Structure formats: C-alpha cells, structure tokens
Chain A
Amino acid sequence: MAEHQDQTSSFVSRIVAVQPRLRAYIRMMIFNPSDVGDILQEAVAAGWEHYADYDPARPFDAWMIGIARNRIYEYQREQKKRAHPLKQEVLELIESEADDLEETTSQIEDALESCLGKLSAEDYHLVQTRYERAETNRQTSKLLGISEPTVSRALSRIYARLLICIKQQQRSPEVQP
C-alpha cells in the first residue's frame, strides 16, 4: 500500500516539476491560448493513466512531452485547417530544436518576478490586469479604458523589457536580489 502512495506522490511531484516546460511546449504549438489548459489537462490525465509504463531511466519531461505531442496532433486533426497560422514544417522545425526549453523555462522562472518588479507601476498594472483579471487584450482594454491597439503595443514593449531583463539576469546572477 505504501508503495502505491509513493507512486502517487512521485507522479505528482514529477508533474509539478515539469509543468512549466510542458505548458510552454504546448503554448508554442497551439494557436488558441484558451485551449492550452485543456490540452495540458488531457496530457496530465494520460500521463497518469500510463504512469505504470513510464521507464524511470528516461527523462520524465521528455516522456510527458511525447504524450503532449500526441494530444496536440489529435487536436490539430480535430481543428482541421486552421490549427495554427504557421505551417506544419515550420512548427516541426521549431519543435525539433526544443531541447533548450528546459533551460529557457528555468531562466524565466528564476527571473520573472524580479523582472516584473522592475517594470513601471503602469506597466505592472497592465500585466496584472491582462493576466489576472482578463483573458484577452480586448477585455484588458475595456477594464483599463484604453484602446485595444494601445494594449497590444504596451504588451510588446513590456515583453521586450522582460526578455532583456531575463537575459541580463542569466548573465549576471550576482545582481539578483
């Protein structure tokens, strides 16, 4: 019995550890952001269902990404033509080089809060509104009383700052708070 408890605990702790990069993988392959959560949910459920087949000698994230990939292909078949505006061969090229995803998501995880703290109060407020109160740029524009193009431009500026900051933090970890 204890062994089965351990199995549950080990799956849960592995999933919790890989979830950021698993979600990032799905996010880069799926066009509609609101479908990302559903696919992640289905991938986790499938992972649990087949956990007995998982070989601990293999990296768990690669195994889960394989499961997610299958689910994504199924989703793309269901969506038919307009699953993603990028062509399939471009997506496959992006995916084939995605070994760096673990490092990338770790860097973002380590640096994101600090970099968000460096934004101006207005930019931070926009990020909070966009990602905690709204689901789209349109909803954000309504909540803040500004136009949708203004929200898009502001987000682009914010993303640029965050990406520079994250890269700088990676280079100079001694200045991290």
Chain B
Amino acid sequence: MSQAPQLTAELHKLCGKLRDGDMTEAESQRLGEILQASGEVRRFYRTFMALASALETRTSLQASVDQEADSDKNIEVLFDLLHMEQEAEVFELPAESFVPKAQPRRSREQTLGWHEFADASGYLLKQAARSTPAKWLAAAAVIAMGIFLAVQFIGPSAPTPNPITHNTTTEPGRVGPEATTAVATLTATHDAQWTGGPAAAGLGIGDKLHPNTRLTLTAGIAEITTHRGAVAILEAPATIELLDNSNAIRLHAGKLVGICETDSSKGFVVRTPHLDVTDLGTRFGVDVSQAESSEIHVFEGEVQAAHPEAADHATPLKLNAGQSVQANEGDTALVPIDHDVQRFASLLTETLRLPGTGHGLASGQVDPNWQVVAVDGRTLATPQPLVVGGRMGHVRHHKNDPNTSQWLLWTPPAAEQQQAETVYRLQTTLELSDAAALPGARLVLSYMADNDLRAMYINGQQIVLPKMDTTDYFTKFFKASIDQHLKPGKNTVGFDLANLKLDKTPTAGSVGLRIAWELEAPRLKPTQDP
C-alpha cells in the first residue's frame, strides 16, 4: 500500500459541498487546485458525481423489486466487507503536489462498528422475512390466500413484475413465545397500525396470532387467516380477539368481513357482544360499530346467527345472501334490517394501482410506454416519444411524483401547429389482470392535461370525459371512473389532447398529459384449498 498522503476526508467534504450546491469561494478554489493537480482526483470527482446522479434518479421501486435478497448471503457479504474494510484503498495523491493533510488509518471497528453490522444484518433479515408488496401495487383491501394477481406493463426499463403474494403458514414470520398455540396468521396488511401491548408491537405480515390477546387495529386494513383457512378482513378502527378454537374470532368493535370458501374453513365463528355467527360457506359482513348493537349482512352463501343469550341458541337463525339482521343489547331477538353492502365496500373490493405516466422515471427520461400516434386523426408515420418533464415547482404544472405519475411532454414541430384546435392522440398499452373481467370492475382515472383533454379511447371505443375547467388544467386532478370496454391482458388506451391558449389560438408550447390510475375490482375467490 502506497504511503502517499491521503486527501480522502477533505475531498469527500468538498465534493459533498459541490453536490449540495453549497460552496464558498475559498472551498471552490481549493477543490479546483486539487482537481487540477491530479488525474486520480479528477477520476474520483467523476465517480462521486456519477453516484450523486444515480441516487438522484433512483426510486425505491428498485428497492422493492430487490426483495429477492438472500439474507444469509448478504450477511456473508457483510463479513467480507468487514475484512475488506481493513484493506480498503483510499484515493492517494502524489506527495509532491500539495501540502499533505494526513488522515489516521481507521480501525475496522471504527470503519464499520459491530453495532452497525448488527443493524445492517438485522435490516436485511427483516427485509427477507417480510413480504411487502411492491410499492407500485397498493391493495386497499387484501386478497385471500392462494390468489396471485400480476399487473404488468411493457417497456425496457420495466422491473420484473412481482405478483402480490400473501404468506402461507410456511413462510418465515416472527413467532411469539406461545408458538405452538398460534391459531391464525396475519396474512396481509395495508398501512396497518396496531395497539394491544406486546402482541401488537411491530406486528407484520407472516406473524402468528395467539388466542386470548386483544388487538386493536387503529389504522389501515388487515387480513387474518385462521389455521383452518377462514379469512377475516378488518378495517380500522376495529378490536378483535382470537379464540382458543382455531377457527373463531371475537369482534369487540368495528367492521369485519368473513370469507369461508374452502371446506376446511367452514364453521368459522365470529362472536360479538350481541351475536354469534357461524359461517357455513359464504361471505358476510359484521359491524359492531354501535356500542349497543351488532349487525350481520350476508353477501353470499349461508350463515347461522343467534344472540349469545337467547334461550333457543340451539336453533339459530339461518340467513342467506341478501339478508341482514341486527341484534341489540338486552334483547335476544334478531331484527331484520336493510341489506347494506356499501358499508363493507372497502373490505370487499381490492384496488390495484397501475403505473401512471412517467412512473419510476426521472425528469428528462423518455417514457417507453407512451407515444404520440396521431395528429388531427392522421396517424403519424413515426410515433413520437414523450419525455418526463414539467419543472419541479413550476407554477403551472402540479409537482411530479415518480412513484405515482408525472407529466409527459412533447413539443410538436412547427409543421404540426398549423390549425387552431389541433388534436393530438397520446396512446399507451395498459395490461390488466383477470380482475378486469369481473362484474363491477372499473378503471379509476386521475388526470391532468396541458391543456385540454377531449376524449379517451379504450380498445377503439370512445369514452366521453367531463369537460375540464380551464382554470385548473395543470394544478388539480380530474377524476373519471370507467367500467366499459376493459378486458384482461393488453388494452390500447388513447387520449385526445388539444393545446390551446385561453384565447383559443394555437400555442407553440408542449403538449402534456399526466395520468394516475387504479383498477378497482371485487375480491377474487381463492383458487385452491390452503
């Protein structure tokens, strides 16, 4: 190893100041001197700025695609890193170039302390154990065990699509002290937060749930699967307690949807202060939102319901799809009420976010999924690429979000700006899962345009969109919900845009479009017994 003086710390500091746009005159002069003095320093500068560029364009889309990390292998790599830290070469400069600023060689423990190693390996273990859905697939309601939904989009920069999967009991998960008596597993969550003492601390997907522990969901949605395969979906606020029976749950307060679609799960019991519900193979909703009453709404199949204090508890009431009853405090009678599915809509449907315009890209990048294909109804010989744009903080364009959607822009050449009200067709191919074929499936669109969105086309069929308010073109999302012409697989989706000034004369500016969209669909049935 060369004994030449090392400028590492100073070089890092100065390059860091440059990267952060915060440099004094004296610092820029010093950096200029050492850059001029050495090719090695200049090479370091290029590497440093290339790293800054890579971090600035990276999104955690990459991190969530990287869920395949093998935790054991990464720990091995960390061990190697610790060994290699001892021999790490720092950038060294010819001794004669400048006054040296000697840096003491740091010990291995200082470079990467053991506690930091533990942090890093612990982090990797957590990443491996918890199957978090990829960031761009967000489920508002969760999917029963055994269902895989994949939404794919085309393009060379597209990450490998990951299906949403949910842990079966074979997945590693955090196991509590009474591991042998666990009766259920937390199989999926969306923005869930819990309270309920030690059992609730850090609760995550794959964790086993034990009986006789009260848990309160204070935010989000959670899916619990009993070890007999019954699924209970909760929406906050809700308080539950699993019972010793491996197929029963007590709902103290809140809303729950129960799904029993496998033979082993039949007989699933939900107990509330006022109702005992036994599922005979069905989907149903139970609501204990009011302190003094409980309601049961049957969506499919059949349940048995009884008041826990009823004398004829042995002959419970049978309820079929479309029937609903209420049980009240101090009254053992079950009272028929209006059937209400809408109240449980957020637990019965699933929402899949689809990649929006410019998703995962940086400013200036071409979005390979979108093109301008026609002008005034005339198909272009060469489809035109659209580029992520819209200045950050620009007063006109609503700020981009690479994780959901960004503005895509195209500047028409002068030859295409001949007429007032020139209309441009922007087109993409949208890949939808099988859920698109289900009754009730709909594409929920949030859109902005620069500056007038005239029409939408799905697979050649026109959809009329509400007229955009001319004052809000660039700054707020308009919404539309489309339930026609959708199909599983590839859908050709086009948008007709005009680009006008307020006085309706053509403008030489860019045409822009920004779309964020989701597919809402009923929950699919599981395809197999667990």
Could you list which residues of chain A lie within 8 angstroms of chain B, going by C-beta atoms? 1, 4-5, 7-8, 11-13, 15-17, 19-21, 23-24, 26-28, 31-34, 36-45, 48-49, 85-87, 89-90, 93-94, 97-98, 100-101, 104-105, 108-109, 112-114, 116-122, 124, 127-128, 130-132, 135-137, 152, 155-156, 159-168, 172, 175-177
Find out whether the CB atom of A41 lies under 8 angstroms from the CB atom of B388.
yes
Q: Given known contacts A90-B36, A177-B70, is B21 in contact with A44 (CB within 8 Å)? A: no
- In the bound complex, do residue A172 and residue B80 qualify as a contact, i.e. CB atoms below 8 Å apart? yes
Taking CB atoms and an 8 Å cut-off, the chain B residues in 344-402 that contact chain A are: 362-366, 368, 371, 381-385, 387-389, 391-392
Total A-B contacts with CB atoms under 8 angstroms apart: 225
Q: Mark B213-254, 1 if CB is under 8 A from A, else 0.
A: 000000000000000000000000000000000000000000
A-contacting residues, B182-224, CB 8 Å: none
A159 x B51 contact (CB < 8 A): yes
Q: Is the CB of B362 within 8 A of A23?
A: yes
Partner of A113, one of B62, B89, B371: B62
- A100 contacts B35, C-beta separation under 8 Å: no
Instruction: Report the Cα distance A130→B129, complex, angstroms.
Output: 26
Tell me the smallest distance from the CB of A17 to a CB of chain B, in Å: 8
Residue of A nearest to B113 (CB): A120
Set B28, B57, B88, B156: member contacting A23, Cβ < 8 A: B57
Most chain B beta-carbon neighbours within 10 Å: one of A42, A49, A117: A117
> Does A124 lie within 8 Å of B123, measured CB to CB?
yes
Docked complex Cα distance between A54 and B32 (Å)? 36
- Find the residue from B35, B46, B363 having the highest chain A CB count within 10 A: B46
Question: Which of B11-19, B288-296, B299-307, B325-333 binds A?
Answer: B11-19
Q: Does B422 lie at the interface of the complex (its beta carbon under 8 Å from any beta carbon of A)?
A: no
Contact indicator per residue, chain B 87-126, by CB within 8 Å of chain A (1) or not (0)? 0110000000000000000000000100010011011100
CB pair B81–A24 under 8 Å, yes or no, is no
Asked if residues A1 and B381 are in contact (CB atoms below 8 Å), the reply is yes
Q: How far is the CA of A38 from the CA of B364 in the complex (A)?
A: 6
Selected from B50, B80, B157, the residue in CB contact (under 8 A) with A101 is B50
**B364-A117 in contact (CB<8A):** no
B21 touches A122 (CB 8 A): no
Q: How far is the CA of A134 from the CA of B388 in the complex (A)?
A: 19
In the assembled complex, which residues on chain A have CB atoms less than 8 Å from the CB atom of B371?
8
Give the interface centre of A40, A42, A165 by most chain B CB atoms within 10 Å: A40
Bound: A131/B388 CA distance, A: 18
Nearest A residue to B112 via CB reads A161
Knowing that A28-B50, A97-B46, A165-B81 touch, tell me 17 more A-B residue pairs with CB under 8 angstroms: A4-B381, A4-B383, A16-B365, A20-B57, A24-B46, A26-B53, A41-B389, A108-B51, A113-B63, A117-B123, A120-B119, A121-B123, A128-B60, A152-B16, A159-B48, A159-B51, A167-B89
Query: Residues of B within 8 Å of A, CB-based: how many?
Result: 85
Cα-based distance from A23 to B364 in the complex (angstroms): 9
* Residue pair B73, A177 in contact (C-beta under 8 Å): yes
Q: Would A40 and B120 count as touching, CB distance under 8 A?
A: no
Residues B364 and A44 in contact, CB atoms below 8 Å apart: yes
Contact present for A168 and B84 (CB under 8 Å): yes
Chain A residues whose CB sits within 8 angstroms of the CB of B49 once the complex forms: 24, 27-28
Distance of A7 Cα from B371 Cα, bound (Å): 13
Give Cα distance in the complex from A135 to B382, angstroms: 37
B37-45, B162-170, B311-319, B452-460: which lies at the A interface? Answer: B37-45
Shortest Cβ distance from B156 into A: residue: A16
Which residues of A have CB within 8 Å of B56? 27, 33, 36, 131
Q: Is the CB of B364 within 8 A of A40?
A: yes
Q: Are A120 and B80 in contact (CB under 8 A)?
A: no
Instruction: Find the residue from B31, B43, B77 having the highest chain A CB count within 10 A.
Output: B77
- Nearest CB of chain B from residue A7's CB, rounded to whole Å: 6
A69 to chain B, nearest CB (A): 15
